[in-house]
Amino acid sequence: MSGTGSAAGRPPIRLLIADDQALVRGALSALLGLEPDIDVVAEVGRGDEVQHAATSARADVALLDIEMPGIDGIAAAANLRTALPGCRVIIVTTFGRPGYLRRAMQAGASGFIVKDTPAAQLADAVRRVHQGLRVVDPTLAAESLAHGDSPLTERETDVLEAARTGGSIADIARILHLSEGTVRNHLSNAIGKTAGRNRADAARIAENNGWL
Amino acid sequence: MSGTGSAAGRPPIRLLIADDQALVRGALSALLGLEPDIDVVAEVGRGDEVQHAATSARADVALLDIEMPGIDGIAAAANLRTALPGCRVIIVTTFGRPGYLRRAMQAGASGFIVKDTPAAQLADAVRRVHQGLRVVDPTLAAESLAHGDSPLTERETDVLEAARTGGSIADIARILHLSEGTVRNHLSNAIGKTAGRNRADAARIAENNGWL
DNA sequence: ATCCGGTCGTGACATCCGTCACGATCGTTA
DNA sequence: TAACGATCGTGACGGATGTCACGACCGGAT
């Protein structure tokens, strides 16, 4: 362990942790708090609290989960980049949706970690990111390139997202203020592009690829 | 904090932690390892490793996540109750599906905790369970009673589960070796009982209630 | 012995869904 | 300007889907 830190008189890394699950949040805090060169200076459970907490606690590094109430971790990362440019961001999420990686990087994140990486690597990731390096899960990086950008247009994405809750075409048309025929056309295009068998299938595929 | 333990010369609680996400597993271990009266004696990432690890480490309490490869936490709890009756089980899961609580209790679990409870409560839950008490998230208990048992018959559940992957009726019929008409009937019944608008909707509703 | 619910099946029906061809508008690009 | 793709719409077609009525078989409960 350690290795990179060298832990001389240098001031410790000021870390913010954001995760909606209090148990995980507290556990991560306990895990990283054991490291002598890391100080956990803030813990939040909502995406829209990240910016305020990070600025007032003067965080050096922010560890953000994607799934959070308020705004998600990627949007929070984008906000942080403009509001507190000196603060590096690591996105940590439960499962490897390759589309998330691309979006996280576009939002200015410096690191991307899935929750089934060994716990010992996390502290090193924080240190590397603090030094200005990038940390990306290698398996995910390859997958991200293979799947690439979303082939769906903006409207097709909207329609698929509305279809996810299980409503009928009439429902979707009402929500998006479109004609039913248009909804059918967009859905048909989305089904073709995702190679799904129906809209439920297409929504599932698109979601797994991070296209929603 | 603490309070219940009193931490005299009594031997520490021997704890097993099972979670498929290595990061969460390690973090929980770090969190609970800070308690003087708790020893984390085993960590596993698969449900089918729980029994072996618990017996060979002589665990007093097992902390089991539900979502795990191999077998899920509830099945692992049931195995543990027969193989190692002296070992108490706490089920800890990401989100409050009320149906899980009932099934966990039927499997012989002594505690049920959702991951957005405060981290400080976890150690106390372990201590209480070790003393033979039950620990159940109160909000979830109320919800569980409200939603109650699954109204779906066994076959209806099978059909809905097969429908979840987005296949057509013909696909489902092939998977379950049924006629297409029967599949339509089971699906229609399931849609009626769940008050869904179509099978995708019904599957979503049933899943949220823990009926799958 | 009888009733009841779950399971499996058939057939028919109205509706919904996915696909296609086609056209109009608009902003961007070549 | 011309070409292009995204968006929105109409109309029509075949097939998939959801509903209903009905019957048969079986095991468990009354």
What residues of chain A lie within 8 A of the CB of B116, using their CB? 20-23, 45
Instruction: Please report the residues numbered 143 through 162 in chain B whose beta carbons come closer than 8 angstroms to any beta carbon of chain A.
Output: none
Provide the CA A180 distance to its chain's centre, in angstroms: 33
B170 touches strand D (CB under 7 A): yes
pLDDT at B179 over 70: yes
User: For B60-84, how does the pLDDT look when each residue is reduced to its tens digit (9 = 90+)?
Assistant: 999 999 989 999 898 999 999 889 9
Give whole-number Cα distances, A150 to A85, A183, A199, B117, B133, in Å.
Answer: 28, 19, 16, 36, 51
Nearest nucleotide by C1' position to the A155 CA atom? D7
Q: How far is B111 from chain A (nearest CA, A)?
A: 15
B156 touches strand C (CB under 7 A): yes
What's the pLDDT score for residue B2? 44
For chain A, domains (ranges, CATH) are 13-145 (3.40.50.2300), 154-208 (1.10.10.10)
User: For A105-118, how does the pLDDT look when each residue is reduced to its tens digit (9 = 90+)?
Assistant: 878 889 889 888 88
Instruction: Please report the residues numbered 49 through 88 in chain A whose beta carbons come closer than 8 angstroms to any beta carbon of chain B.
Output: none
Q: Does B197 touch chain A (CB under 8 A)?
A: yes
Q: How far apart are CA B48 and CA B53, in angstroms?
A: 9
Average pLDDT of the segment spanning B172-199: 91
| Protein CA A16 to sugar C1' D2 (Å) | 55
Contact call for residues A116 and B22 (beta carbons, < 8 A): yes
What's the pLDDT score for residue A142? 54
Phi/psi for A8 (5° steps) reads -70, -145
CA diameter of chain B: 68
ipTM of the complex: 0.69
Nearest nucleotide by C1' position to the B181 CA atom? C9
Average pLDDT of the segment spanning A29-46: 94
User: For A65-99, how does the pLDDT look when each residue is reduced to its tens digit (9 = 90+)?
Assistant: 998 999 989 899 999 988 999 999 999 988 666 66
| Protein CA A156 to sugar C1' D2 (Å) | 28
Average pLDDT of the segment spanning B31-59: 94
Nearest nucleotide by C1' position to the B183 CA atom? C8
Which bases of strand C have any atom within 7 Å of the beta carbon of a protein residue? Answer: 6-12, 16-22
Side-chain half-sphere exposure of A158, counting CA atoms within 13 A: 15
Q: Does B24 touch chain A (CB under 8 A)?
A: yes
Q: How many residues would you count in chain A? A: 212
Write a three-state SS string for chain B: CCCCCCCCCCCCEEEEEECCCHHHHHHHHHHHHCCCCEEEEEEECCHHHHHHHHHHHCCCEEEEECCCCCCCHHHHHHHHHHHCCCCEEEEEECCCCHHHHHHHHHCCCCEEEECCCCCHHHHHHHHHHHCCCCEECHHHHHHHHHHCCCCCCHHHHHHHHHHCCCCCHHHHHHHHCCCHHHHHHHHHHHHHHHCCCCHHHHHHHHHHCCCC
Strands B61-65 and A135-136: unpaired
Helix (H) or strand (E) holding A88: strand A88-93
Q: What is the pTM of this model?
A: 0.74
A40 touches strand C (CB under 7 A): no
Q: Do B116 and A21 touch (CB under 8 A)?
A: yes
B22 touches strand D (CB under 7 A): no
